[in-house]
Amino acid sequence: MNILMLAEVSACCLTGGAARTLREQAIGLKQRGHNVCLLVRAPLTDAKPQAVFNGIPEFRYAVYRKSAPAFVLSSIIRSVGVFDSLVVRGFPVEVGVIHQALAGFGPLLLRRCRVRAWIYYCHSLAYEEYLTRNPPPSGLGKRWLYWLHAGLRFFIEHWVIRRCATVVVESRFMRARVMAKHRVSAERIGLIPAAADIGRFRPVADRLARRAQLGLPPDRPAIFTVRNLIPRMGLENLIKALAEPKIARENLLLLIGGEGPLRPHLERLIRTLKLEAKIVLKGFIPEDELAAYYQCADLVVMPSAALEGFGLVTVEALACGTPVLGTPVGAIPEILSQIDPRLLAKGNDARSIAAALADILLLIRNNPVELNQLSAKGLRQVANVYNWGKHNEQLEAVLLAQA
């Protein structure tokens, strides 16, 4: 089967969960005997029109970024141009898998009949992501443009979803969002949990040695999280939790990986709360170093405040044998409640996170046997449910059913 995957992220530039999912799906489907090709928006850091990974070609189109209309129009025209070039090159597309709505809008609008079946893979809702990443500006004119941008994202995503044969989501939470916001029936939605690469994310024999490699102290509980530094990730509440009385006396070290517009604000918050000795903003962590941080941490935290459609960090950390503490937001409870209720904070505010952290730190200190049991439960859950082999087997079944 000839499969074209369309996305606004590159499988060659792994800067987040959507790109990692795209890459793992492409590799997995190729291993299952399919011809796979990617059509993506060119990343800002690499403008080459074509790249290859694992023998899979990735064709790219550049866009104009000076204004929203130019951005949308250039995305439509240039994605269609690359689509046509693939057909000329002798790649007749049988199934198109759209990972972000704007990436598939042009080909679906103008070349819909050239593809036997279109599938929409929904990581999250585009307009909700926009609203959580961009707080409303001041001023009537700017606020009007803000809501126009959000509305345009909703319209494009709604139009694309309604014209795809099937929508695939990664969690019950996201299935409910798609049904409520885009009026899609449950019969048209397939649920396939995302996963971890269990070949790369796995327990390490000597955690202290791994810490030494990263230059981390051996005698302090290490907490790790990796997030885009944007408001919905809940990092402000996690930082504030370390100043709560239950946690303030703990000699712990919090490592925050990731970059984003919220960084200056987080740096000021850390200074204001006098937590410089306890919190380190590590910046962007390359893919080949990510597993080491999961492996050496005593605990990984998912402090999400909103819209967690799945959360690859959760299952990647569990695959490394590291317990994960999360907030009761989005899909996080779907994963962690299967392991132990103590891994879920009662809320996403600083006080709730601090209370849950205090309980887990007590467990780490006083009950290593029970801690090992938690790790073992997480590893079993990844082996049975959250691995890419199982994910791609289920995805292939969806594609074959539509083709």
* Structural Rg of the chain based on CA atoms: 22
Which of 65-69, 290-294, 351-355 shows the lowest per-residue confidence on average (mean pLDDT)? 65-69
| 146 lies in the same domain as 179 | yes
Confidence of residue 62 (pLDDT cuts 50, 70, 90): very high
| 28 lies in the same domain as 156 | yes
50 in a structural domain: yes
Q: Please tell me the distance from the alpha carbon of residue 99 to that of residue 105, in angstroms, as a whole number.
A: 11
Q: Please tell me the distance from the alpha carbon of residue 192 to that of residue 205, in angstroms, as a whole number.
A: 31
| 243 lies in the same domain as 142 | no
For all residues of the chain together, what is the average pLDDT?
Answer: 93
Residue 23, token pair as written in the block: 């890459």
Enter the DSSP assignment of 139.
S
312 in a structural domain: yes
Mapped onto helix, strand or coil, the DSSP state of residue 219 is coil
202 in a structural domain: no
What are residue 156's phi and psi, to 5 degrees? Answer: -60, -45
| 154 lies in the same domain as 233 | no
| 113 lies in the same domain as 176 | yes
25 in a structural domain: yes
200 in a structural domain: no
| 242 lies in the same domain as 272 | yes
pLDDT at 140 (0 to 100): 81
16 in a structural domain: yes
State pLDDT tens for residues 316-340.
999 999 999 999 999 999 999 999 9
173 in a structural domain: yes
201 in a structural domain: no
pLDDT at 257 (0 to 100): 96
Number of domains in the chain: 2
| 306 lies in the same domain as 185 | no
- 14 or 394, greater pLDDT: 394
| 181 lies in the same domain as 330 | no
| 191 lies in the same domain as 46 | yes
Q: Which domain holds residue 338?
A: 207-384
Q: Where are the beta strands (DSSP E) in 62-201?
A: 95-98, 117-122, 166-169, 189-191
pLDDT at 356 (0 to 100): 95
- 128 or 28, greater pLDDT: 28
pLDDT surpasses 90 at 179 = yes
State pLDDT tens for residues 190-240.
999 999 999 999 999 888 899 999 999 988 999 999 999 998 899 999 999
| 179 lies in the same domain as 214 | no
What's 230's domain CATH number? 3.40.50.2000
pLDDT at 40 (0 to 100): 97
| 375 lies in the same domain as 257 | yes
| 353 lies in the same domain as 295 | yes
pLDDT surpasses 90 at 146 = no
Percent of the chain whose pLDDT exceeds 70:
100
pLDDT at 403 (0 to 100): 74
